[in-house]
Each structure stands twice: as C-alpha cells, then as structure tokens.
C-alpha cells in the first residue's frame, strides 16, 4: 500500500555574479590566511553564483501551477538579485558586515529572505558557487525558520 502523499516541487534557477572576501575580524592576519587561503586576498574575488529555489504546495487546478513564475521571479529579483548581482557581498549586503560571506552563510541569508514568499512554501535553496561546489539549506529543522 502506498500511503505517502505525492509531493510535487517547483524548482527555478537564477544567476548572479558577485565578489566576496573570506575574512574574519576575530582571527589574526596569519590565521585568516591559514583558514581561508587565497579566498582571503584583501581585494576579494568573484563568482557566477547559481541559485536554485525549490517550492512546494498544491497544484492549482485552474493554472496547473504551484506558483506563478512571474510572481516568483519578481520576488527573487526584489529580495535577492537586486541587492546581490554585480555587487560586493562584503560591502554591499548588510548581513555580511559581520558574517563571513561563505556560500554556507549565503544559503542561510537567502533562505531567510525568500521564506516569506506568499504563494507557496519554500522548501530549500541550493547555491552553486562554482561548477564544483554547491551548498543547500532547508531551514532550521527545529522549525524556527517556518
């Protein structure tokens, strides 16, 4: 017997280019270099990030959609891309003034920005920093992100 409900998720990818520098004010210069290596270069460096957003919800029978892509695109544009694309994450995004802009932290920051999307439930965000590195965050399992 199959008792588990069928779950459908909508996934959408966005791209943004940004620079960052991995540096902690709590570490010495030597420790920063030891921990972060070339990512600690004082002038920073950049990536073409790929952001993958997954949403769940009922498929509206009238539209066939979990969420209208135009609504989702506008929401992601307003809450993430406008502030992140072609910017310095360290200098231009307030959340990273006192937090190292690793892609782990970027996932958490973006999840918090997108979790209030009103038309469907945000399941997770996944970010590719390069073709070889990707990170995922699905919210706090204790439910504090709900």
Partner 1 sequence: MVLLTRKIEFSASHLYHNPNLSAEENRRIFGKCNNPHGHGHNYTLEVTVAGEPDPVTGMVLDLKELKEILEREVMKRMDHRHLNYEVPELAGQIPTCENIARVVWQLLEPRITQGKLHRIRLYESPDLFADCYRQGGSGAGN
Query: Looking at the annotation, which residues are catalytic?
Result: 39, 86, 129
Residue 75 is a binding residue for partner 1 (CB under 8 A): no
Residues near 125 by beta carbon (within 8 Å), at least 6 away in sequence: 51, 52, 53, 54, 107, 110, 111, 114, 136, 137
Q: Which is nearer to partner 1, 25 or 64 (CB)?
A: 64
Q: Which is nearer to partner 1, 52 or 92 (CB)?
A: 52
**Can you tell me the distance from the alpha carbon of 38 to that of 130, in angstroms, rounded to the nearest whole number?**
15
Residue 81 is a binding residue for partner 1 (CB under 8 A): no
Q: Do 53 and 33 contact (CB within 8 A), yes or no?
A: no
Q: How far is the CB of 55 from partner 1 (least distance, A)?
A: 10
Q: How far is the CB of 56 from partner 1 (least distance, A)?
A: 8
Per DSSP, the three-state class of 65 is: strand
Residue 41 is a binding residue for partner 1 (CB under 8 A): no
Residue 69 is a binding residue for partner 1 (CB under 8 A): yes
- Stretch near partner 1 under the rule CB under 8 A, chosen from 40-48, 68-76, 77-85, 105-113: 68-76
Q: Do 95 and 37 contact (CB within 8 A), yes or no?
A: no
């Amino acid at each position: 017997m199959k008792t588990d409900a069928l779950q459908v998720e909508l996934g959408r990818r966005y791209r943004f280019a940004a620079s960052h520098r991995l540096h902690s004010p709590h570490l010495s210069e030597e420790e920063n270099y030891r921990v972060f290596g070339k990512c600690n270069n004082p002038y920073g460096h950049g990536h073409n990030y790929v952001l993958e957003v997954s949403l769940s919800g009922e498929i509206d029978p009238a539209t066939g959609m979990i969420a209208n892509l135009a609504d989702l695109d506008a929401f992601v544009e307003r809450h993430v891309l406008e502030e992140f694309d072609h910017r310095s994450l360290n200098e231009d995004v307030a959340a990273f003034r006192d937090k190292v802009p690793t892609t782990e932290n970027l996932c958490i920051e973006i999840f918090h920005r997108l979790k209030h999307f009103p038309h469907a439930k945000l399941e997770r965000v996944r970010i590719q920093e390069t073709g070889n590195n990707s990170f995922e965050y699905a919210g706090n399992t204790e439910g504090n992100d709900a």
